[in-house]
Amino acid sequence: MRLDHVIYGTRYLEQTAAAFEREHGLTFRRGGRHPGGTINMVAPLEPPQYLELLAVERIGDPESRHLAALIDGGRSRRV
């Protein structure tokens, strides 16, 4: 088994990307908007691995509602 990416949930997509860039030298690329209401950015690591930042832009389905609850439950910090 090979790990290809890690997802980091955040309320503050742009600020979190900037903090990771400052603190770890990672460069994030815009990802996309997803039908369920999430949005992401990705930082390439050692190919094919990458770090994905994922935020809820709007509650559009049960998955985005669950993710928002996890993030709002204290698993995210403002950076």
Read off the pLDDT of residues 2-20 as tens digits, 9 standing for 90 and up. Answer: 899 999 999 999 999 999 9
pLDDT in tens, 48-75: 999 999 999 999 999 999 999 998 886 5
H-only helix segments in the chain: 13-24, 62-70
CATH topology assigned to domain 5-75 = 2,3-Dihydroxybiphenyl 1,2-Dioxygenase; domain 1 (3.10.180)
Please give the Cα distance from 37 to 33 (Å, whole number): 7
Query: Can you give the residue ranges of every domain in the chain?
Result: 5-75
